[in-house]
């Protein structure tokens, strides 16, 4: 039996069809929304994975750089110690012949005083040659101007033989290598 429309109102079948179409449209919209959300989730997951990967790469780079620096520091320290050891060994190697000559002089009981004095002068000049070869210079002579950066004044005298702030007497010579003072000269200064 056919239902007739009354007063322009839809029939029950039409209402059901409209409801079904609306539900189908809602389901389609939900599926589209779910797909969009899933797509967004997938996109966010990909970005998070990429960022995590970048963080891991940076962390690895940092750890490698830190290890390289630590190795460099240790290697530099060892090289520095080796340089000091080598420098000391070179100085000792140069001084050993002087020591040998002192031992010979001390062991020579048949030498006269004049021979002994001559031997000491030769050893002294040998030692000065070694200092010269290694770049060591002595300073602090009577008549030099007093320099507090190079001289250590332990006494002052009033004397007309010397000018103001001149070294009158040297108690112990000073030594330097280049501009580096190895030992200050101990002096008496005239006022």
Q: What is the mean pLDDT of the chain?
A: 87
- Specify if 87 maps to a domain: no
Helical (H) or strand (E) element with 41: helix 12-107
- Specify if 36 maps to a domain: no
- Specify if 151 maps to a domain: yes
Count of domains observed in the chain: 1
- Specify if 12 maps to a domain: no
Residue 10 confidence class, pLDDT cut points 50, 70, 90:
low
- Specify if 162 maps to a domain: yes
- Specify if 8 maps to a domain: no
pTM, full prediction: 0.56
Amino acid 162: pLDDT: 85
| 8-22, 118-132, 135-149: the lowest-pLDDT one | 8-22
Amino acid 106: pLDDT: 87
Its domain, for residue 173, covers: 137-191
Residues 190/158, Cβ–Cβ less than 8 Å: yes
The enclosing domain of 181 has a CATH number of 2.30.22.10
Residue 24: Cβ-neighbour burial (10 angstroms; 0-12, 13-18, 19+):
exposed
pLDDT tens-digit profile of 71-127? 999 999 999 999 999 988 988 999 999 999 999 988 888 889 999 899 999 999 999
- Specify if 49 maps to a domain: no
- Specify if 38 maps to a domain: no
Residue 58 above 90 pLDDT? Answer: yes
């Amino acid at each position: 039996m056919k239902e007739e429309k009354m007063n322009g109102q839809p029939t029950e079948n039409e209402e059901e069809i409209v409801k079904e179409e609306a539900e189908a449209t809602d389901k389609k919209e939900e599926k589209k929304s779910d797909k969009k959300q899933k797509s967004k989730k997938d996109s966010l997951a990909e970005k998070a994975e990429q960022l995590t990967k970048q963080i891991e790469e940076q962390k690895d780079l940092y750890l490698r750089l830190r290890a390289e620096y630590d190795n460099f520091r240790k290697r530099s320290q060892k090289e520095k110690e080796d340089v000091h050891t080598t420098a000391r060994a070179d100085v000792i190697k140069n001084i050993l012949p002087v020591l040998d000559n002192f031992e010979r002089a001390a062991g020579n009981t048949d030498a006269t005083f004049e021979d002994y004095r001559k031997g000491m002068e030769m050893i002294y000049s040998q030692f000065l040659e070694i200092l010269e070869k290694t770049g060591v210079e002595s300073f602090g002579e009577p008549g030099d101007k007093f320099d507090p950066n190079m001289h250590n004044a332990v006494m002052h005298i009033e004397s007309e033989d010397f000018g103001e702030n001149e070294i009158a007497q040297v108690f112990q010579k000073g030594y330097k290598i280049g501009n580096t003072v190895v030992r200050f000269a101990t002096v008496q200064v005239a006022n």
